[in-house]
Amino acid sequence: MVIATTDCLLRMYDDRHELEDYQGGVPRWCTGCGDNAILAAVQRLCRDENLRPEKTVFVSGIGCSSRFPHYMRTYGFHGIHGRALPVAEGIKMARPDLNVFVNTGDGDCCSIGAGHWIHAVRYNMNMTVMLHDNQIYGLTKMQASPTSPRGLRSNTTPHGAYLEALQPLTVTLGVQNVSFVAQAVDWIPDVLYDILSAAFHHKGFSFVRIIQRCPEWLPTMWEPWLHDPERVVLLSHERGLKIAADIAKIYRNRLQHDPVNLNGAREIASRLDPIPVGILYRNPDVPCYEELRHAGRLRPPQLIKAGLETEFDKFTIWPDEKHSRASPRTTRSADDGLLIS
């Protein structure tokens, strides 16, 4: 059996990882912010799945939620506003062997990043996407976001938001090639963990909307749901989420839902009260874009160098016109997407 050199080096390290192996910087989120619960669930998932930190990457855009990569002791990419998904797709195309996670907010994903969001669902690349939805722009001090409910007063809507809120679940379920959609809430940590675990194990684009609290700007928004378990309906099924006995004692409002039923998932996603929590849809048969395009193929150094030289030549200031005419002509390789001589 032939073992790659990198695999040999990785085997020199301990096989097991502890929770501390994934803990990066000290979180700077507000006390009571739902991002803290999401971080705890993700670090627990990494430990339980024994994900190698050097084989795991977290990608984010801009916003409170997008500080996530700073708090994970893995690879991370803190991108620009709304661009987390195309960055993650590029990483997955170059390195399909990596565990790719995306953390994005309701403004980052559903506003400036909405176009990327729709097409990322369509591409169905194998990654786990967490939409941190607190229904407000928190980092920039309380502006209405696309998911803010109608009537919400904010710095940009002092008389109340005029439009009905965008619903991330129904939007995602309406896109061609959708393969996994789930919803969680930050105040039921065990169910949040189970949903993220199912999303990680799904092969394809796993979209998890996480309703979270913002104690700074919307401190009372979710209080009624927090104190009345009947306002949460847990979705359970043998092909979906299995509810633990201790959780079932508290949250008695439950619904048997088969996640292969797309129409049923769309109907449930349109419900706002009680909040549906669980796996709405799962289809493992949708092909992944990176497999269709044979991502991660080895390219010889000569081909890579030729592509880089061609790109650099675009910005070269040649000393004379004669040299410019003598420069090699370039063509694009359809197979590799690189410019070669």
Locate 63 and state its tokens: 């916003």
* pLDDT in the model for residue 2: 54
Instruction: Compute the distance between CA of residue 84 and CA of residue 189 in angstroms, rounded to an integer.
Output: 25
* pLDDT in the model for residue 11: 56
pLDDT in tens, 31-76: 999 999 999 999 999 999 999 999 999 999 999 999 999 999 999 9
* pLDDT in the model for residue 269: 97
Beta strands in the chain (DSSP E): 56-60, 75-78, 99-105, 127-133, 180-185, 205-211, 232-236, 254-256, 275-282, 331-332, 339-340
The position carrying tokens 């997407």 is 337
Instruction: Compute the distance between CA of residue 228 and CA of residue 87 in angstroms, rounded to an integer.
Output: 40
Instruction: Compute the distance between CA of residue 309 and CA of residue 298 in angstroms, rounded to an integer.
Output: 19
Locate 106 and state its tokens: 């309701």
Nearest Cα residue to 210 out of 147, 140, 286: 147
Q: What is the DSSP letter of 2?
A: -
* pLDDT in the model for residue 104: 97
* pLDDT in the model for residue 183: 98
Q: Which residues of the chain have pLDDT under 50?
A: 1, 325-327, 329-341
* pLDDT in the model for residue 5: 57
Q: Are 118 and 175 in contact (CB under 8 A)?
A: yes
Task: Count each helix (H run) and each strand (E run) in the chain, helices first.
Answer: 13, 11
C-alpha 167: how far from chain center = 17
Locate the domains of the chain by residue range: 17-292, 301-340
* pLDDT in the model for residue 321: 61
C-alpha 177: how far from chain center = 17
pLDDT in tens, 254-295: 999 999 999 999 999 999 999 999 999 999 999 999 999 887
Amino acid identity of residue 339, one-letter, is: L
Overall CATH class of domain 17-292: alpha beta
CA-CA distances (angstroms) from residue 205 to 103, 122, 131, 183?
A: 13, 9, 13, 14
* pLDDT in the model for residue 188: 97
* pLDDT in the model for residue 333: 46
Locate 16 and state its tokens: 């097991």
Nearest Cα residue to 286 out of 173, 124, 99: 124
Q: Are 120 and 137 in contact (CB under 8 A)?
A: no
C-alpha 113: how far from chain center = 12
Residue count (the chain): 341
* pLDDT in the model for residue 8: 56
Phi, psi of 81, deg, nearest 5: -60, 120
**For residue 162, what is the enclosing H or E element?**
none
Instruction: Compute the distance between CA of residue 132 and CA of residue 207 in angstroms, rounded to an integer.
Output: 11
Q: Are 110 and 84 in contact (CB under 8 A)?
A: no
pLDDT in tens, 19-30: 999 999 899 999
Amino acid identity of residue 166, one-letter, is: L
